[in-house]
Structures are given as C-alpha cells and as structure tokens.
C-alpha cells in the first residue's frame, strides 16, 4: 500500500496533474521570463528586445556565472556547424547515393546565425568578432576502401550544391600532408586515405559569444539577470499567466514571479521544467543523457603544427555529438588542440546537475517511449558502456588513428559538457531517439521549451526564429514592423541561399566582412552575371 502511494505521489510530481491551479497574484507580471543564461536564451532575449524594446525581461540562471553549461567553450565542439566536414549530416541512401538535404539545411541555418552576429557586431553589442569567431578550415578524413568510396561520392554530391562550392578533395597523401601535417606524419605510406577541405570553415567560442550577448541584454532597460537562482516550478495561474517559482540559492529564499511568456532554455535541464508546466504538449517526451570528454594537449609544438578541424566517421551506434575530430580551437584568444569527444554516461541532465535527473524525469506520460527507445537502441547502450570502460591508453590508441605519433604523456583527459538526446513518443514505433533539437510550445504559445542537442549553438538564431513563430508573439511577428526589423537583423530572412548564387554571394560577403572572415565567391550562372552587369 505504501509503495502504491509513493508511486502516485511520484506521478503527480512528474506530470503536475495533482497540483491545484495557483491563485492569481496582484504583482505586476513580467513580459518575458528566460530560464537559463546560455546561448539560446541570450539569442531569443536579444531578438525580442530588438523587435520590441519596451518588453520587460527576467533571466534566471542557477549557476553563479553566464554560459557555464553547454555554451561554455570546453563543453562543446566550438564548430560553426556548416555541414562541410560532419559526415553524419550526409547519410548514404538505400540506392547507394548521398542525401545532402540535412547538410544544406544546416549550412543555411549557420548563415542565418552569422548574419545575426554580424548585426550585433555592427551595433557594437559584441565587441571585436575575433573574440568569438575565427576561420579554421573544416576537413573530413577517412581511410579504407569503403570509407574512401563514400567520401568521394559525398564530395561529388555536394559539388552540386552551391553553398559547398570551393570544397577540395584528395586521395594523395602528400596533398593531405599540406592540409594537416600532423595527421600524416608517421602514417604508413601505403595506407589508402582521403580527405576534403573547406578553407572558410569557422571555430566559434560560444561561451564568449553568449557572455557578450547577455552583458548587453542585461544592461538594457527593463531586463534583469539573476544568477544563482533556480527555477523550481512553473504553473499556470487562474488568470492565465505563468507563476514561476524561483529559489535564491544564496539565501535559500523562494519567490513567485508572474510571466506572460516563458522560454525554457536550460539545456539538459529543460525537460524536467517542461514537465512541471503540465501542458499536454509536454507528454511523451523523454531524454537520454550523454556526456563527453576531450583529450587536450599542452604541447605547444603540436598546437602550432595543426590548423584545422578534422572530422572522421562515427562509430556504429554512437550519437552525433561523439563524432571524432582533431580540433583546432581559439579559446579566449589562445590557440588550443583537442581530440574527441569520448562519450560518458551519467544520470545527470546537466554537467552541474543532480544524479536523480533521469529517474525523476520518467513518469506515466513517457515511460512507454523511454522503454521502447532503450530496446531499439541497444547499439547506443553498447557504445556507451564501451566508452565508459576505456582507459587512457585506449583513448590515445583512438587518437593515433588521426595523429599517428601521439604520445600519451602529451594529452590530458578533460570533462566536456552534458547533453540530453530527445526521446519522442511515436504513434506507430513507440519511443524514437532523436539527435536534433525540438521546439515544444503550449497551444497558446505562452510557454516554449527547447529540447535536444546537435547542432545546437551554431543554429541558435534560426531556432529562435522558429520559437517566435510558435510563441505568443507570432501575431506580432507577421506585422510589417517586425518583418522589417527581422530583415535588418537577418538580411536573408525568408529566403534561401543555396538556389541563388548571386544572393548567397551578397549575404556571405556582408556577414564575412563584418565578422572579418574569409568568403568564397560562388560562380553565378551566365544569365545572372549579365543581369548584374546590365543593372550596373
């Protein structure tokens, strides 16, 4: 009997179905509550403040610093994800071809993010662009006949996409040695290898970027940043507004803030908070936490000798965030060299989370899809177990596939960030494990949450544009005033670049000039060139 009562109580906690509606408060409500001081909340807050400067905002962060979780430099790959090197974005089709759609979509999305950052640089919100974004070539590197055949097909397929023109391909060891000397030094001269290279790939310090955005946002009129404050509950009041219960972790005091719109952008911590809202749209979602670790070198000779992000093929069953890469980073103005990530498993949803995050997130609304996802993803479970059991020598052995002369003493294991992969209920298949991001919104759009991981921060701007479309601001979004402002912030808003080389050149030229990046000019069809000349 006691166990059944405990089970009922747990279900009530997870689904918020046994909690009475909080009474209306006489306190003046805030227009926007942003939960989490990471890149997603910073991006949405900045957009909304530009679109409607008189909005009042409150940002809550449970840690005592901004962007200390997933957005922090060492907690993510720091890649400006453009689909140039990430092989998991270009899967083989059943007929042996290459599906380029996802790579093109992600490239388009990153171009949107670059435009939004360029707008902020021009407005002097972010300081010098080199503080957060720099050119680092993006490479794919494989070995073995099957993988080489795949990479060649991938290159051929991407050459048909305008946004990927300028990509180089080689199976010549001497040519690849020029691109990435450390990758080829000490390698068997008879080994068959292949690589692609895009010179204008980027490295992004999302931690610095986020801190700059939040610094500007929190200095704006009507915006308050509260660090060391944990959101513990979100309930709709009798007046239709959201009552957000927040605990000051410094003095232990709690208070309730009324909000017209709530955005849950707390990374891995978003799922438990979304469940607390009790909205029907939250049911059926679960999450699988996956952590990461880097091998980091302090050997300056190695750091100086490598200048590229070299991506390989992921192991069977591994999540996308675990695609191996030998990675040049620019962190706080200093060059660094990392390899990984190696996956870890924890029941925490955040790097600084609780060990009961995973079990506390499972209830009657998502237990079936969670169990089904576990059954259907045995290879992922096997992969995680193998990763957790690895020794330093095991990790260095993997590193030697990319850096043949790697020495164990040159590399130190460092913990990276924690991600939560989405489990989504499917009417036919049960629980599906997804490796992207998902925007979940209430029917009226007054509360939205972002779940998931990769490609994450790189696509923050387009994801937040999607949030606006399903939020309670969607009607304002359609007004001429908001449309004009959006096109000022993102000049390509509402248009695609891949099918229009002339427009792509214009947009890339603009954002690259402002951000002080390289840009490759695309070849334009003869008819377009003639039209441009005639116009001039």
Residue given tokens 């200095």 in the structure block: 219
> Is residue 45 a contact partner of residue 34, using CB atoms and an 8 Å limit?
yes
Domain boundaries, the chain: 30-236+240-476
- Parallel, antiparallel or unpaired: strands 325-331 and 309-311: antiparallel
CA separation for the pair 21, 25 (Å, rounded): 12
The two three-digit tokens of residue 352, written as one number:
């600084």
The alpha carbon torsion through 381, 386, 392, 395 (nearest 10 deg) reads -80
H-helix or E-strand spanning residue 187: none
- Helix then strand then coil, in percent of the chain rounded to 5, is 40, 25, 35
CA separation for the pair 330, 16 (Å, rounded): 44
- The DSSP 8-state label assigned to residue 166 in this structure reads T
- Parallel, antiparallel or unpaired: strands 168-170 and 138-143: unpaired
> Is residue 414 a contact partner of residue 75, using CB atoms and an 8 Å limit?
no
CA 326 to chain centre: 19
Which residues are registered as beta bridge partners of 142? 194
Residue 4: per-residue pLDDT: 39
Residue 192: per-residue pLDDT: 97
Q: Which fold has domain 30-236+240-476?
A: FAD/NAD(P)-binding domain (3.50.50)
H-helix or E-strand spanning residue 21: none
Residue 13: per-residue pLDDT: 39
> Which among 324, 457, 323 has a CA at the least distance from the CA of 42?
457
Q: Where are the beta strands (DSSP E) in 453-518?
A: none
The two three-digit tokens of residue 326, written as one number:
């030998």
Listed in sequence order, the residues at least 6 apart from 434 whose beta carbon sits closer than 8 Å to its beta carbon are 421, 422, 423, 424, 452
Read off φ and ψ for residue 226, nearest 5 degrees: -120, 105
Question: Quick check: helix, strand or coil at residue 164?
Answer: helix
Residue 2: per-residue pLDDT: 38
Residues in the chain, overall count: 536
CA separation for the pair 40, 265 (Å, rounded): 6
CA separation for the pair 274, 279 (Å, rounded): 8
H-helix or E-strand spanning residue 155: helix 145-158
CA separation for the pair 113, 117 (Å, rounded): 6
Q: What is the mean pLDDT of each run of 10 residues along the chain (536 residues)?
A: 37 42 71 95 98 98 88 82 94 95 97 98 96 97 96 97 96 97 96 97 95 96 96 95 96 96 87 91 76 89 97 66 83 93 66 58 55 52 61 89 96 81 62 70 95 81 96 96 98 96 95 92 57 33
């Amino acid at each position: 009997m006691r166990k059944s009562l405990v089970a009922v109580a747990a279900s009530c906690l997870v689904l918020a179905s046994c909690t009475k509606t909080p009474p209306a408060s006489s306190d003046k409500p805030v227009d926007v509550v942003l939960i989490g001081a990471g890149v997603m909340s910073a991006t949405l807050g900045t957009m909304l403040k530009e679109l409607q400067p008189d909005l009042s905002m409150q940002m809550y962060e449970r840690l005592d610093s901004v962007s200390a979780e997933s957005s922090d430099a060492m907690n993510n790959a720091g890649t400006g994800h453009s689909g140039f090197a990430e092989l998991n974005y270009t899967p083989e089709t059943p007929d042996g071809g290459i599906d380029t759609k996802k790579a093109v979509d992600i490239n388009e999305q990153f171009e949107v993010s670059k435009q939004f950052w360029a707008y902020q640089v021009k407005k002097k919100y972010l300081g010098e662009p080199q503080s957060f974004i720099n050119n680092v070539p993006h490479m794919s590197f494989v070995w073995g006949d099957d993988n080489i055949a795949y990479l060649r097909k991938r290159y051929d397929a991407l050459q048909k996409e305008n946004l990927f023109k300028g990509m180089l391909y080689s199976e010549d060891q001497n040519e690849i040695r020029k691109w990435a000397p450390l990758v080829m030094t000490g390698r068997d001269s008879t080994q068959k290898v292949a690589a692609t290279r895009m010179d204008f790939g980027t490295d992004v310090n999302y931690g610095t970027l986020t801190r700059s955005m939040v610094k500007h946002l929190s200095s704006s009129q009507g915006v308050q940043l509260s660090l060391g404050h944990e959101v513990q509950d979100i309930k709709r009041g009798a007046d239709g507004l959201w009552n957000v219960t927040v605990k000051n972790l410094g003095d232990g005091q709690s208070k309730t803030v009324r909000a017209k719109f709530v955005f849950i952008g707390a990374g891995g911590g978003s799922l438990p908070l979304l469940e607390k809202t009790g909205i029907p749209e939250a049911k059926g979602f679960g999450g699988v936490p996956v952590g990461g670790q880097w091998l980091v070198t302090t050997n300056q000779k190695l750091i100086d000798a490598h200048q590229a992000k070299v991506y390989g093929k992921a192991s069977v069953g591994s999540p996308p965030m675990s695609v191996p890469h030998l990675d040049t980073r620019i962190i706080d103005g200093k060059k660094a060299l990392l390899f990984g990530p190696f996956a870890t498993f924890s029941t925490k949803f955040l790097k600084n989370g609780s060990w009961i995050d995973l079990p506390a997130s499972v209830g009657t609304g998502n237990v079936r899809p969670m169990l089904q996802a576990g059954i259907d993803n045995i290879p992922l479970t096997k992969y995680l177990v193998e990763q957790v059991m690895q020794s330093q020598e095991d990790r260095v052995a993997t590193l030697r596939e990319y850096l043949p002369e790697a020495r164990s003493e040159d590399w130190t294991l460092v913990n990276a960030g924690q991600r939560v992969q989405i489990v989504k209920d499917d009417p036919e298949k049960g629980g599906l494990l997804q490796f992207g991001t998902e925007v979940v919104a209430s029917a009226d759009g007054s509360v939205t949450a972002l779940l998931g991981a990769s490609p994450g921060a790189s696509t923050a701007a387009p994801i937040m544009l999607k949030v606006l479309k399903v939020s309670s601001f969607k009607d304002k979004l359609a007004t001429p005033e908001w449309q004009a402002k959006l096109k000022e912030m993102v000049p390509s808003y509402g248009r695609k670049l891949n099918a229009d080389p002339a427009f792509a050149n214009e947009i890339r030229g603009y954002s690259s000039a402002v951000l002080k990046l390289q840009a490759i000019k695309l070849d334009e069809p003869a008819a377009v060139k003639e039209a441009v000349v005639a116009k001039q």
